[in-house]
Structure formats: C-alpha cells, structure tokens
A and B are shown apart, each in its own frame.
Chain A
Amino acid sequence: MAPNRAYCPIFVHCSELQGFGLGFAVAREEDESQDLAWHSVASWTWDAQDETCGICRMAFDGCCPDCKLPGDDCPLIWGSCNHAFHLHCILKWVNSQTSQAHCPMCRREWQFKG
C-alpha cells in the first residue's frame, strides 16, 4: 500500500511534484513541457530615476517627439552626470551647441556615460 499521498488525484504536470504521483510523472515525462504553458505579461521600463525627459518633457518610457515607436527605436542615454535623456533629444542638443555641450539639467560638461 502506497502512502496516502500516492492517491492524490490531482497532478499538475510540473515535475517539481514528482515526489508523489510518481508513476504518472514518469509515464508522461516526454510531453510534460506542453502540458503547462504560462504566458505572462510584463511591462518594460528604462528605470531612469526620473519620469520624463528633461528636454522634450515626454515620458522616458514613451518616446521622443520625433519617434513613433518607443523602446529600442528611441533609446535613453545617460550622461556622466547621471542625467538621462532620449538619445535623439540630447543628440539634437549636443549638435546645436557650438562649443562644448553641457548637460541641460546640471550645466556640467556633457559626456556620454560609458
């Protein structure tokens, strides 16, 4: 007589449970992966300290005014002063400066952070 647990009638096909209901698990080993499929949802974030870009005032997790698609197409860039901007925004700023560009937020010299 197997221990009581062996009669547990339910078995979700993840094999961390193989401790009981062993017989079933072994029999089904080959297709267990398709028996449980967990489709989850996540949102991504740039994880900047601030909410919005200091130049365009758009959300970091959105995109700069020139872009249509957020994410890879409109990345963020950090300066050595740890201020983040949309790449497109800060490039526009840097290119518009005649001499050495400064961070729009803290007026320190603008250096892209390694």
Chain B
Amino acid sequence: MADSIYSICNLGILDTLSENSIHEIVESYEGFCAANETLLNGAGDLSVGPQLVSNAHSLCKHGLESLLRDHFLGALEKTFEKNGALKFWRHFEDVSIGEEVFYNALEEISLEKQYQEKCLLMLVHALQTYNQRGSHDSDAISVELFAKYQLSVSSVLMATLPRKFPEILNWYFKGRLEELSTIMAGDRPPRDDEDEDDDRDDMELDEKWKVSYRSGQMEIDECYPQGRFFDNSKLVNNIGRVVHDLRSLGFTSMTEDAYASAIFLFLKAKVHDLAGDDYRISVLESIKGWIQAVPLQFLHALLAYLGDSISYESASSGLKSPLAKCPASFYPGIDTPSEGLVRWQLRLEYFAYETLQDLRIAKLFEIIVDYPDSSPAIEDLKQCLEYTGQHSKLVESFISALQYRLLTAGASTNDILHQYVSTIKALRTIDPAGVFLEAVGEPIRDYLRGRKDTIKCIVTMLTDGTGANPNVSGNTGDSLLEELNRDEESQENIAPEDDFHTDDKQAWINASRWEPDPVEADPLKGSRNRRKVDILGMIVGIIGSQDQLVNEYRVMLAEKLLNKSDYDIDSEIRTLELLKIHFGENSMQKCEIMLNDLIGSKRTNTNIKATIAQPSHTDAGSELGDNRVSMDIIDATIISSNFWPPIQEESLIVPGPIDQLLSDYAKRFNEIKTPRKLLWKKNLGTVKLELQFEDREMQFMVAPVHAAIIMQFQDQKSWTSKDLAAAIGVPIDILNRRINFWISKGILSESLGEDTDNHMFTLMEGMIDTGKNTANDGNCEDLIVGDEEGESSVASVEDQLRKEMTVYEKFILGMLTNFGSMALDRIHNTLKMFCIADPTYDKTLQQLQSFLSGLVSEEKLELRDGMYFLKK
C-alpha cells in the first residue's frame, strides 16, 4: 500500500506528512475499503453510502483521489466479473435456451450493472461534493468514470464470451422477426380495401391505446403517433429492451450484426417464398411492400426505441432510393424518416433486388421458355438489373444454361429457334440496346449454323404460323413474320425515326435523351443508336445471308403452289409482301413471278375451259365419243419454268381420257396464246377422286401417279407390277413405292407372284380388313397424301447444291491428281483462286465439305487425317 502511495506522490511530500495525517489516511483508507466491500457485495444495501462518502472526502483531502478511483473501479470490475459475467454466461451453457432464459439472463446482468452504476454514482457524488469545494470540473469526472466503467464491463464480457453467443443473438432476432411478420401478415388488411377498413382501424387504434396504457408501455408509444405499430408494440418493446441492454453491455456491433443478418436472412427467405416458380405475376411490388411492412417497421421501432442513438455520420440524402420519390406513401405513420432508417431501407432494397435478380437469373431459361406469359417476371428482372447493374451475371448464367439445356442434340431445331426468338423478345425488354442480347445470341447462332435443317425451320417459322410450332398455343395462324411486322409498325408509330426531317428541336430532344452504352458493350460493334434490335435481322444473321433464306423460301413456296388444287394464294401473297418489306423487292422477284403465274393460270384456265370446243361434241369418231368426261374436271397451273426452282420430272402415262383432255387443253392454250405452247408435267398436281365400292365411297386427294395407278384397276382387278409399271409408264421401283399408298389404305393388296420381282396387286373387295382404316371412313376429305420421303415435286436446295457442285468435281479430281493429297481448306482456296470464270466458285467451306464427303461415299475420294486423296 505504501508502494502505491509512493508511486503517486512525490517523495518530498511524504516528509511533510505528520504522524497525525498518516494515521488519518490509513484509517480513512481502511474505512473506504470496508465500505466499498460491503457496498459491492451487499446486494442492494446502500446504507454504507455515507460512510463511503466521508472516507472518500478525507482521502481526497490528502490528494489521494486517483487512488480512490482506481481502487473503486478495480473492485467494481472484479465484482462484475464474479457476480455478473460468470452468472450471465452460465445461462447460455445449455444447448438450447428459451426466450425466457434469454430475457432473464439479460435482466439479471442488467440489474447487476445498474446496481454497480448506482455505486459508482455514489462515488461520483462524493467526488463531486468534494470538488465543489475545490475547483474541479465535476461533470468531467462522472463522464470519465462511467466511460472507464463501461469499458471494463465490456472487456470483461468480451474476454469471457462463449463462441455461440452471436448465434444465440441471431436466433433470437430471427424468432422475433418471424413473430412480427406473422402479426403483420395477420393484421394487415389487403391493400384494396384499405379505405373501407379505415374506420375500423381507428376504433382498433383507440382500443390499443388503452391497452398500451394499461400495460404501462408508454415509453415507446410516443414514437408512434399512429399506425399499426401498436399491434406489435409489446414485441418491439421487448426487442428494444434487449437491444438496449445488449448495447449497454457493450455488444453494440455484435447486436447490430445479429439483427442485420437476421433481417437479411429473413428477407431472403421471404423473397424466395414470394418469387417462387410462378413467372406470371410480378413480385417486386409485393416484396417492396413487405419490406415496408415488416423489416422497416421493425427497424423504425427499434431505432425509435433506442432514440436513434446510432449516428450515421455520412448522410445518405444524396443516395436516393427509387422509392424515395414519394416518401409520404411509403412511410405510413412516419413523417420524416430518420437517416438511419433511409440507409436501412436502401440496404434492404438493394438486397431484395439482388436476391430476386439472382433467383430470376438462375431460372431465366424457364422464364423465357414460357415467355409471353412470363413477361411480369422479365419486367421484375429488368427493374432489378437497373438497380444492381449486374447484367454480366445474367449473360454468363444464361449462356451456360443454354449450352446445357438447349444447344444439345436432343433439342429440335424448331424448339431452338423458338427459344431464340423468345430470348430476343425477352431480352429486348430488359436491354433495349441489344448489347447483352448479342452476347447471349452468339452461342445459339453458332450452334444453329451447324444444323442442316435450320434454314428450312426458319422459313417455316417465318411464313407458316400454324405449322411452325404446334406446341405453342395462342395466336396460331399468325406467322412470325406478321407478328414482326405488327411489332415494327407499332414501334414506328411510337417513335418515328425520320432522320431527314428532324428539325433542331427534335435534334435537341434526341440529344438530351442520349444515354451512354452499357459498360459491357463491345465498342467494335457500333453504338446503340445504329443498333435496333431487329428480330428478323438476328434470325437472318443465323444463316449468314438472306439469299439462302430467300432460296429456301422459294423452294417451299414452289412446293406449296404446285400442290394447290385451287388458285387461292391470298396468304402466300401476304407473306410475300411482308418478305418484300424486309428483304427488298429484287430478291423476291422470282417468288413474285411464281405467284403471278398462279394468278395468270387461274385466268387462263377459266378462259380455256369457257372457250374450248368440247371434243366430245365435235369429234364423234373418237372412241370416247359419247363419254361424259368433260373439260370441267381439268384444271391446270401454268408456270414460267425459268423462274421456278428446278422441278423433278418423272415420266407418267395418265389414263387415256385424261391424256386426251390434257392435249386438248394444251391445244386450246396454243390457240389463245399463240405462239406459246404448253408442256405438261404430268407427274405434278393433285387429283381428287372418289372410289365407289358396293358398300361405301371414299374420297382421296392424291398425286397423279396414285390416281393413274388406281384407275388402272377399274377394268382389271389385278395387275402384276411389271405390267402395271408399263401401263403407267414409271419404273418398277417407283411404282412399288407409290403403290404402297393404296396398300396402306387397304384398297389394294400385294401378293407374291410366280416371279419374286413381279408382285401381284389385287383390288380388295368389300373391305374385309376395315380395322386398318376405320379412322378414315367417311371423312376422307382431308386425306392428302403426305410427302413421304423424297416425294417432293421440287428439287430441294441440297439437291440443287449438289448439282451445282458437280461442275467442280473435275477440277477437284484434277487437283488431286496433280498434288496427291490436299486438305479441305486448300481445296477451297484453290477453287476460289482458279474458278473465277463462269461458273464462279462461290460456295462455303461447309458446302464444299459436304460435297467432298459425298464424293468419298461414292468412293471417288478417300479421306485420311484430314487430307483428301484420290481413291485408287
């Protein structure tokens, strides 16, 4: 003890001390220590207070004030460690603790602390009263002492902190939030009938006022002049007290972490819960509403309870929440949101946006699959992305989803194309500049380029609304092209982009509307001003050139037109007009001529049939003299063959009377249109015929060759294939293929003749095996012969290509003779270099490759290690 005195006082002073004063000091000090001990361990007994004060005074008189303080604080700390901290932590030793335990523990330690503070206050008081005689600043002493005490309390607690305490805090706040949320959910009237509920609300309010009076919880009620906070005032009160207690124990940051993470976890769960897997409704608003309703109210109450004592230094007034535009409606019952609350709101909203965005991005593939229905989800995503700006996340995740789920061998080209179009449409909403679309579309385009039937599918999809994708319900009958056109018209109506007539004012408006490209934009690809998301352009981009597309369309159109039995081409004309808008008139010229041929044919057909001299009347000598097959049954489509795709010609001998009619028809044509002549393509066209059996009739729409076959059975019930082939003038193998149609309908039957090659076909009488075709009975109107493999009347694009490539065959063979072996690209380059004269070599590497592999399969070439050799 003497040491401590020496250390504080300077030794010189010691000499001046009289025996008396030494005695007094020792006595006072002992008295002080004793009083101190009783006070601290005395469990609420403050009776020793005056003793403490008087001893303190006498010590102070001797300048031992600091000793006094240190001793007192040290004693406080020891006692707190013993009485407070150890007991406190003992509460949490159990694995699971209830809410009550938590409250009790907090209460106990808070009481302990309060008591100690009272003791401290007593000392402070003693010092203050002493100092009033002196000249010390009395406030400074109390502030200093309390700060020291606070520090020692929190250091004691922190030093003994069990590891799971933060978890407990977390658990506690989570539980309370859930409680609050249920209260809110149960209490909140649906927004629509809020007005009606106002009166009732007021009444409830009054009642709740009373309730809260009774329960004596007035402290916080002042913070809530109105609103629904009373519903949960008790709960919030509890929480507030807990937070307050924790904070006073020095757990400020830990508490904040705990409730922040609880809120975020809860918010995340809520977002997941609300967003779910339903993309047909927008959830963003309800999430925002929920944030307002639960976590923000919670925080508001909490901050208000704590007197908003956390000061956020950096003001967030510069950061405007998107919601802050109309704060009045968003802060029910709060006139001016405190800064802390605004910050919290921003944090929560950002978090909600990000969570929802992540959720939606992960499911973007599904969302786009049911695109038109899922547009609310897309809208949500768009808003989220505007806020968070994490577009690149979207691109990456979507591309990997595409690669995993769409761009696989199992997906049909049609589906891929539809997904592509939906993707374009959906991403166009999110990002009108098309920057991200470009990135996302690239893998799809690359993949589609590798598929053979891409062009065909595209053309079908463009021109044929019904056939393109039967799975898609909704506006069937509308081709994609028409849809595109509608889109375009509506877009143009909204924003007429007329560069030539912009006056200064318009230019200024345009300039002020300018926004920079997103950061992710590829600067090589030009600015967004020039880039308008053009679905058709992006589709054509898959193929590379529109010529190929137009060519494919021409083949399809030819096929369609040649199989028409009437001259109704309205829909084709419309499609062509739309295509002309997009591709220009010149490239569609041939198609236009084809349609024109149909129109001309209709006119000529009527003309010929009206003016023809009926052969049956004039030519009585003919063996058909009195038959009644009139010209009426003949119709013809007269084509300008130069402008049509190459047409497959097969020989066919049509039945005599028909042949006669055809030549009469041609003769009449020649008379009318001298000197033009008609060349029949007898294998093309359609025949509608009716078979009459004893018990029933059947109608069919068939190709001429089918008609020719069945008509041979009119006067001879069974034919050998050889004879039949000769009679209708087709090779036997073709006959065998075509006759299958009638066999499958159960009209003819096939049996092996005496010769294996020479099958016997017999007409089925009476249709014994009706089981085969009961479905077709009666309504045979729609029985149009489906194009079985290789039956199309127009050479396909591939066939044309093969024909064009054969020109180069001798070049290639010659090259290989000279060089021995060559790689694919070398052949390609050589051809490009040398075949510049007619016909110019203009094929792609892929086309060449497929041609070469054709040559390999014909055993003209050999392919080893990527090099082509001549087959020896």
Minimum CB–CB distance for A32 against chain B, Å: 7
Q: A9-B694, A38-B634 are in contact. Are A46 and B687 (CB under 8 A)?
A: no
Q: Is the interface of A mostly helix, strand, loop or mixed?
A: mixed
A1-34, CB under 8 A of B: which get 1 and which 0?
0000001111111111110110010001100110
Closest to B682 in A: A40
Indicate if the CB atoms of A38 and B643 lie closer than 8 Å.
no
Minimum CB–CB distance for B604 against chain A, Å: 9
Minimum CB–CB distance for A40 against chain B, Å: 4
Indicate if the CB atoms of B662 and A70 lie closer than 8 Å.
no
Q: A41-B684, A41-B685 are in contact. Are A35 and B690 (CB under 8 A)?
A: yes
Indicate if the CB atoms of A12 and B676 lie closer than 8 Å.
no
Contacts of B647 in A (CB 8 A): 43
Binds A, one of B111-119, B229-237, B707-715, B828-836: B707-715
Indicate if the CB atoms of A10 and B692 lie closer than 8 Å.
yes
Indicate if the CB atoms of B692 and A42 lie closer than 8 Å.
no
A10–B695 CA distance with the chains assembled, in angstroms? 10
Q: Would you list the 6 A-B pairs with minimal beta carbon distance, nearest first?
A: A43-B641, A41-B684, A11-B692, A40-B685, A35-B690, A37-B688
Q: Is A89 an interface residue (CB 8 A)?
A: no
Q: A12-B691, A16-B657, A36-B687 are in contact. Are A41 and B681 (CB under 8 A)?
A: yes
Contacts of B666 in A (CB 8 A): 42
Q: A10-B713, A38-B687, A59-B642 are in contact. Are A16 and B627 (CB under 8 A)?
A: yes
Chain B positions near chain A (C-beta within 8 angstroms): 562, 564-565, 589, 592-593, 596-597, 600, 624, 627-630, 632-644, 647, 657-658, 661-662, 666, 669, 673, 675-682, 684-694, 699, 704, 707, 710-711, 713-715, 717, 747, 763-766
17 A-B pairs, CB-CB below 8 angstroms? A7-B694, A10-B692, A10-B763, A12-B692, A14-B633, A17-B715, A32-B628, A37-B689, A38-B661, A39-B688, A40-B634, A42-B680, A43-B641, A43-B678, A44-B638, A47-B675, A71-B597
Contacts of A14 in B (CB 8 A): 627, 629, 633, 657, 711
Minimum CB–CB distance for B647 against chain A, Å: 8
Q: Which of A28, A71, A78 contacts B640 (CB 8 A)?
A: A71
Q: A16-B627, A39-B687 are in contact. Are A24 and B675 (CB under 8 A)?
A: no
A53-89, CB under 8 A of B: which get 1 and which 0?
0000001011000001111100010100000000000
Q: A10-B693, A44-B669 are in contact. Are A38 and B711 (CB under 8 A)?
A: no
Indicate if the CB atoms of A12 and B714 lie closer than 8 Å.
yes
A27–B287 CA distance with the chains assembled, in angstroms? 77
A88–B171 CA distance with the chains assembled, in angstroms? 94
Q: Which of A20, A33, A38, A78 contacts B707 (CB 8 A)?
A: A38
Contacts of B765 in A (CB 8 A): 7, 9
Indicate if the CB atoms of B689 and A35 lie closer than 8 Å.
yes
Q: A38-B634, A40-B634 are in contact. Are A70 and B640 (CB under 8 A)?
A: yes
Indicate if the CB atoms of B692 and A13 lie closer than 8 Å.
yes
A43–B597 CA distance with the chains assembled, in angstroms? 10
Interface size on A, residues (CB 8 A): 42
Q: Is A45 an interface residue (CB 8 A)?
A: yes
Closest to A76 in B: B675
Q: Which of B629, B677, B715 contacts A47 (CB 8 A)?
A: B677
Indicate if the CB atoms of B562 and A33 lie closer than 8 Å.
no
Closest to B793 in A: A41
Contacts of A46 in B (CB 8 A): 675-677
Indicate if the CB atoms of A38 and B685 lie closer than 8 Å.
yes
Closest to B686 in A: A39
Indicate if the CB atoms of A41 and B562 lie closer than 8 Å.
yes
Indicate if the CB atoms of B639 and A13 lie closer than 8 Å.
no
A41–B635 CA distance with the chains assembled, in angstroms? 8
Indicate if the CB atoms of B688 and A68 lie closer than 8 Å.
no
Contacts of A45 in B (CB 8 A): 641, 676-677, 679
Q: Which of A10, A20, A41, A68 contacts B691 (CB 8 A)?
A: A10
Q: Which of A10, A40, A43, A44 contacts B714 (CB 8 A)?
A: A10
Contacts of A36 in B (CB 8 A): 633, 687-690
Since A14-B629, A44-B641 are in contact, a sample of 20 more A-B pairs with Cβ atoms closer than 8 Å, ordered by chain A residue number, is: A11-B693, A11-B714, A13-B692, A14-B627, A18-B627, A29-B628, A36-B633, A36-B688, A37-B565, A39-B634, A39-B637, A40-B634, A42-B638, A42-B679, A43-B638, A43-B644, A45-B641, A45-B679, A70-B593, A78-B675
